[in-house]
Structure 1
């Protein structure tokens, strides 16, 4: 199981909860994790498509292409304006 933690009211409201446990069958990217679990994480898709998600995997800065495996913790934070907030360097 991968634990997905959602930080910020915008993301929590889009999914309906602040922590989601997702079962996976093998390693996959964060992007694939979200796309494969649209029944629970579909609210994240608009933010992902606009590049407004900051990704952390096991307390390390990551991207949507970072690989996650069973037991990992993924933290997602909403970044409203990546151009002006200066954190776009790791999330193209």
Structure 2
């Protein structure tokens, strides 16, 4: 991966870090927030016969993590193309 300048490399890394932090905050919010903090409010609703808070604690955080992985790969491909470092 060769960058045209040190500034472009720094801009690329800054975009990458911002994306990672954003996605980690989303993952934390879903797994900790929905599965632990607001579980009582979510348990008023059901998905497939299970309370929503329980579902988030058991399945929702896993599904959201998988969605975040695919989104990260898709978004990083766009960023790689933007900075001309794609394969």
Q: Would you call these one fold, judging by a TM-score over 0.5? A: no
Looking at secondary structure, tell me which structure has more strand per residue.
1
Looking at secondary structure, tell me which structure has more helix per residue.
2
- Whose Rg is larger? 2
Class of the TM-score when normalised by the shorter of the 2 chains: under 0.3
TM-score between both structures, scaled by the size of structure 1: 0.21
TM-score between both structures, scaled by the size of structure 2: 0.22
